[in-house]
Structure 1
Amino acid sequence: MARICEVTGKRTQSGNNVSHANNKTRRKFYPNLQKKRFFLESKGEWITLKVSTQAIRTINKKGIEEVLKEAKAKGLLKKKVLL
């Protein structure tokens, strides 16, 4: 499974390790992804999403229903969550 947040679209970024001697080698920066279950009150069921910790904070602030609507409008939502 790809390391991509299902709500925000955050994905692995690449960059450089820089040593004390200023040698540069390629490295990856992985997003902080968590598997989290959310309860959809409108449907009365649980869904499991792979989301970044920033997305969890956004969901706590706005609510899961609103965040899923925004993700669906942006075309980020891959799972078949019907709202």
Structure 2
Amino acid sequence: MSRVCELTGKRAMVGNNVSHAMNRTKRKFNVNLIKKRFYLPEQEEWITLKISTSALKTINKIGITAAIKEAKSKGLLK
């Protein structure tokens, strides 16, 4: 599985390491992902999602059901 947040769709970005002499080499900025289990009371089941920590803050704010509904409307979840 790739390094992509299942709720927000965040992916790794590409940039440069820049030395003091202004030499540039390619590098990757990976997403801060965690694997987290959530309980869905409507379906009475547990689901495991690979999400970014910023998505976790959003879930804590609006709730897991609203976050999943928003991700489905954007076409990120099935």
TM-score interval, smaller chain: over 0.9
| Offset, 1:77 | 1.2
Q: Partner residue of 2:65?
A: 65
* Pairwise CA RMSD: 0.6
Q: Partner residue of 2:27?
A: 27
Residue type of the alignment partner of 2:59: I
Residue ranges of structure 1 left out of the alignment (5+ in a row): 79-83
Is 1:7 paired with 2:43? no
Q: Quote the Cα distance in structure 1 between the aligned partners of 2:41 and 2:35.
A: 19
Q: Partner residue of 2:16?
A: 16
Q: Quote the Cα distance in structure 2 between the aligned partners of 1:14 and 1:77.
A: 25
SS at match of 1:66: helix
Same amino acid, percent of matched pairs:
65
TM-score normalized by the length of structure 2: 0.98
Is 1:44 paired with 2:6? no
Q: Deviations over 1:17-67 (max 9, x none)?
A: 000110000000000000000000101110000000000000000000000
TM-score normalized by the length of structure 1: 0.92
Count of paired positions = 78
Residue ranges of structure 2 left out of the alignment (5+ in a row): none
